[in-house]
Amino acid sequence: MSSTPQKPVGLIDYGMGNLGSVLNALGRLHVPARIVATPDALADCSALILPGVGAFGDCMKNLAAHGFVAPLRDWVLAGRPLLGICLGLQVLCEGSQETPGVPGLGLLSVVCRRFVPAPPLKVPLIGWNPITFPGGAAPAHPLFDGIPPATHFYFVHSYYLPSPDAAPALASCAAALSLHTVPYTAAIAFRHTAAVQFHPEKSQAAGLRLLKNFLSWSTAPQ
């Protein structure tokens, strides 16, 4: 009896994103993956990854131009697995101070803010930064299973999601925090959706562990 082939993880290609590095990371985990350039191809995917680099407004413009805005929103609202990376986290929000007046996907009731430089800390944040977990020393969410507090991940960003203390709407979904001039939310998770401000594909062993955790968590019954 032949088994049903596993559907691949889809990497959303909308003209902005570090697709090659993410594909390589999934390859190291022996996870079948494909680049998805049209909404019609989403049905053939088991989960989606939304990477992103660049400006918030350009990202939303490109997502709209490729026809992904409504399908991505519907995908998340239907409880299907999605991982946002860097700008792929920020566009889940209502908007960003980077491009006032440009709406995001509106799945998180918060607006991204810009870091204010506080010497010697510079903006943008580029490099390794440690994470912590809300409410205690141990991770409360399976996205971070096997990843201890103070683990460093690789960040590149000038805008951020506020901490749950500053944005109560994030209290139920903040999965990790970090600090750069101010405390901020470094990862969120709800239903089968997760998103991280850092780049797991550039974060060595910890990043690979997070990707593996996402795929295990997102396919588990909830």
Residues 104/56, Cβ–Cβ less than 8 Å: yes
Phi, psi of 119 (to 5 degrees): -50, 135
Q: Is 160 helix (H, G, I), strand (E, B) or coil?
A: strand
Residues 40/67, Cβ–Cβ less than 8 Å: no
Residue 183 exposed, middle or buried by CB count within 10 Å (0-12, 13-18, 19+): middle
Catalytic residue among 98, 112, 180, 201: 201
Residues 177/163, Cβ–Cβ less than 8 Å: yes
**98 included as an active-site residue:** no
Catalytic residue among 45, 86, 112, 173: 86
Q: H or E stretch including 113?
A: strand 108-114
Catalytic residue among 157, 180, 192, 199: 199
Catalytic residue list: 86, 199, 201
